[in-house]
Amino acid sequence: MAFEFTDANFQKEALENDNISVVDFWAEWCGPCKMITPIIDELSSELEGKAKIGKVNVDTNPNVSMEYGVRSIPTILIFKNGKVVDKHVGVTTKQALLQKIEAQY
C-alpha cells in the first residue's frame, strides 16, 4: 500500500528521507487518479527500501499541492535529495513510471 503523504509529514517523509520519493497527487473524485492507484500501490511494494512511494490527497492537503504548483491531477513528482527531478501529469503505464524512477538511482 502506498504511503500517505500529508501537509504535516511531507517535509520529513518526502524531502528529508534517504531514498527517492515518488508522490502521486490525487483526489477521490478524479477518474484518471483511480486508474493510476493500482500502479502506485504495486510500485510501492516492489520498490520498498529503494523508493518511498505515496499519495497526497489534494483536497485534504492543499498546502503541499500549492507549493509544487499542482493544477492537474494525477500529477506524479519524483524527488531526489529534496528536489523535484522528474514530473508526469496524467495517466501513465507502470513501465513508463518505473523507468522514470529507476533513472534516478
pLDDT tens figures, 64-90 = 999 999 999 999 999 999 999 999 999
* From 14, 22, 33, 73, the catalytic residue: 33
Model confidence pLDDT, tens digit, residues 6-48: 999 999 999 998 889 999 999 999 999 999 999 999 999 999 9
- 3-state SS class at 12: helix
Q: What is the dihedral of CA 3, 70, 34, 86, to 10 degrees?
A: -70
Beta bridge partners of 67: none
**Residue-by-residue DSSP string for 34-88:** HHHHHHHHHHHHHTTTTEEEEEEETTT-HHHHHHTT--SSSEEEEEETTEEEEEE
pTM of the model: 0.96
Known active-site residue 30: yes
Give me the domains of the chain, ranges plus CATH numbers: 3-102 (3.40.30.10)
Asked if the model's pLDDT at residue 95 lies above 90, the reply is: yes
Known active-site residue 84: no
